[in-house]
């Protein structure tokens, strides 16, 4: 496929690879008698989520950017939203009566005492009430590194004794406790949010406000926008980065000129990732098994990318990938380990073959490919982005999936361990952990399992492959340089994986 062959659908929307499984319950309860019955019985009424569309404004309504305490980041965060086209208000009184808010952002990064938390409540409660359908609540806090409070380990302040510590250690412990409290607050708000609204916590060290805002900007814009439709109840830490000299020109595609490898790109989530990355300007090298060659070629055709037929577990896979990347593209900027399989059995019935195949595809192959890319000169360009597609099962475990959950938890371990190696070349490595996503795979699950997967989440529905793809695209952006070594669930705050 030539690079000149551009994607037919640059927005990535409507380019679905397979007929989308229908959520009949959502359709039934959307209006008419079904809606009436659901209301009377107190049943969930999932709404159509606001997802990315061409020409869409950043937010569905005005934004309110508030602060608790000194709030050193509120002004900078408001500027980021304004630059994204949002109408921003610093006070609720400035918002037209009756207008539903598109987003509420609260800078609580300087909050340090239990009393300060009352300011957070007092600011949030009336604003949250005004949040419109598919609105966004975003709390901004400070990181809480473990064991950093002076005296916390009994020695740093030299004054900790008798279990009470010094005044300064007590203050540091209280600050850490209060910042951690924001996590409970935001995750609970996510469970209270209605009509497709979400709530998330963004942590960034406010010591240098300009660098903090620069580090947080891409995550703020992702979590505020329709791109994060299925991301709720999450905590993301963004490291401060030197403020960019000049903002990128308006309308520039963030991945323009970049080469992205996506494994398992022939269908489902992988095909959606290829489409969204291509829509953001990347040349996508789709990888999949030869048996999926036709579907893979169709994806490459749609996205203007190229296809590499290859089993990622084959002994020759690392060498073939390197050869393809170095000979044709001079290296890669983005690598997405998406190929994955399930071979479910209860542990008591789990044979060595089912164990080995899942571990080989889902864990050993990403480890080997990443290792080869890191070792070969020029294969990963400076500022590279590696994203692994893990799973909610890898965080919470799942009955019948000891092999799958082990492989997906292993990916999370790999991401954390690889972060320093990527940082040495100004790169990042992260995992996304999808929950229940409407794909051919989940369409085949028994009705009750499928309904539980859909309804037992704060958004009361399954996500779409594009939701996972949008999260991958956010992490792949050059502007997401401050986000590394993290796991972000794309699961509508699934209660099963809580
Ligand atoms: P899918 O089965 O529809 O697609 C997986 C793709 O990977 C297929 O095209 C397949 O051919 C390819 N693949 C499998 N083995 C391969 C190999 N050895 N070499 C190269 N390609 C190979 O699955 P999906 O639902 O799109 O899932 C994609 C990823 O997301 C997987 O890693 C999966 O574990 C993960 N995930 C999915 C869900 C969900 O609800 N669908 C939830 C959590 C995580």
Convert the pLDDT of each residue in 310-349 to its tens digit.
999 999 999 999 999 999 999 999 999 999 999 999 999 9
Distance 38 CA to ligand 1 centre (A): 34
- pLDDT at position 8 is 34
- 341 burial via Cβ count (<10 Å: 0-12, 13-18, 19+): middle
Pocket test for ligand 1, best of 16, 269, 366, 471 (most atoms within 8 A of CB): 269
Buried b (16+ CB within 10 A) or exposed e, 371-398: ebbbebeebbbeebbbbbbbbbbbbbbb
Pocket test for ligand 1, best of 341, 432, 445, 492 (most atoms within 8 A of CB): 341
- pLDDT at position 157 is 38
Ligand 1 atom 40, closest CA: 437
Task: Point out the ligand 1 atom lying closest to the alpha carbon of residue 311.
Answer: 19
- DSSP letter for each residue of 77-105: HHHHHHHTT--EESSGGGSPTTPPEEEEE
Residue 101 has pLDDT above 70, yes or no: yes
Task: Point out the ligand 1 atom lying closest to the alpha carbon of residue 468.
Answer: 30
Q: pLDDT band for position 13 (50/70/90)?
A: very low
Q: pLDDT band for position 472 (50/70/90)?
A: very high
Is the Cβ–Cβ distance between 201 and 183 less than 8 Å?
yes
In a 3-state reduction of DSSP, which class is residue 256?
coil
Mean pLDDT value across the chain: 90
Q: What is the mean pLDDT of residues 247-267?
A: 88
Per the residue annotation, which of 128, 222, 230, 404 is the catalytic one?
404
- pLDDT at position 245 is 61
**pTM (2 d.p.):** 0.92
Q: Catalytic annotation on 404?
A: yes
Q: Quick one: tokens of 241?
A: 């980065």
């Amino acid at each position: 496929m030539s690079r000149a062959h551009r994607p037919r659908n640059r927005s990535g929307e409507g380019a679905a690879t397979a007929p989308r499984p229908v959520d009949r319950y959502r359709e039934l309860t959307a209006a008419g008698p079904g809606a009436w019955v659901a209301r009377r019985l107190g049943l969930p009424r999932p709404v159509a989520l606001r997802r990315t569309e061409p020409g869409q404004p950043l937010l569905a309504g005005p934004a309110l950017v508030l602060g608790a305490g000194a709030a050193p980041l509120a002004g900078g965060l408001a500027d980021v939203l304004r630059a994204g086209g949002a109408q921003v208000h610093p006070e609720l009184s400035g918002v037209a009566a009756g207008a539903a808010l598109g987003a509420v952002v609260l800078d609580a990064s300087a909050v340090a005492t239990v009393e300060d938390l009352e300011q957070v409540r007092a600011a949030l409660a009336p604003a949250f009430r005004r949040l419109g359908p598919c609105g966004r609540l975003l709390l901004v806090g400070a990181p809480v590194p473990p064991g950093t409070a002076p005296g916390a380990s009994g020695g740093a302040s030299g004054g900790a004794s008798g279990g009470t510590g010094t005044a300064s250690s007590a203050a540091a412990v209280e600050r850490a406790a209060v910042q951690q409290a924001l996590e409970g607050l935001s995750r609970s708000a996510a469970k209270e949010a209605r009509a497709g609204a979400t709530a998330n916590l963004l942590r960034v060290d406010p010591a240098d406000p300009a660098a903090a805002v620069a580090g947080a900007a891409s995550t703020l814009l992702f979590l505020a926008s329709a791109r994060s439709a299925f991301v709720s109840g999450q905590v993301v830490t963004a490291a401060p980065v030197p403020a960019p000299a000049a903002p990128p020109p308006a309308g520039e595609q963030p991945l323009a000129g970049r080469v992205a490898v996506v494994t398992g790109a022939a269908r489902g989530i992988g095909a959606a990732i290829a489409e969204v990355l291509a829509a953001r300007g990347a040349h996508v090298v789709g990888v999949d098994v030869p048996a999926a060659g036709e579907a893979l070629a169709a994806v490459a055709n749609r996205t203007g990318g190229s296809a590499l037929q290859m089993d990622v577990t084959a002994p020759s896979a690392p060498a073939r990938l390197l050869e393809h990347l170095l000979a044709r593209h001079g290296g890669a900027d983005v690598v997405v380990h998406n190929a994955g399989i399930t071979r479910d059995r209860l542990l008591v019935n789990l044979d060595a073959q089912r164990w080995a195949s899942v571990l080989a595809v889902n864990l050993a192959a990403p480890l080997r490919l990443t290792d080869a890319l890191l070792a070969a000169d020029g294969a990963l360009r400076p500022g590279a982005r590696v994203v692994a597609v893990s799973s909610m099962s890898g965080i919470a475990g799942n009955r019948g999936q000891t092999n799958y959950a082990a492989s997906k938890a292993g990916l999370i371990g790999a991401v954390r361990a690889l972060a320093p190696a990527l940082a040495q070349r100004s790169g990042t490595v992260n995992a996304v952990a999808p929950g229940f996503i409407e794909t051919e795979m989940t369409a085949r699950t028994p009705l009750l399992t499928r309904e539980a997967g859909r309804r037992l989440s704060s958004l009361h529905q399954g996500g779409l492959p594009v939701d996972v793809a949008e999260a991958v695209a956010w992490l792949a952006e050059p502007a997401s340089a401050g986000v590394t070594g993290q796991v972000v669930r794309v699961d509508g705050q699934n209660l099963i994986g809580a």
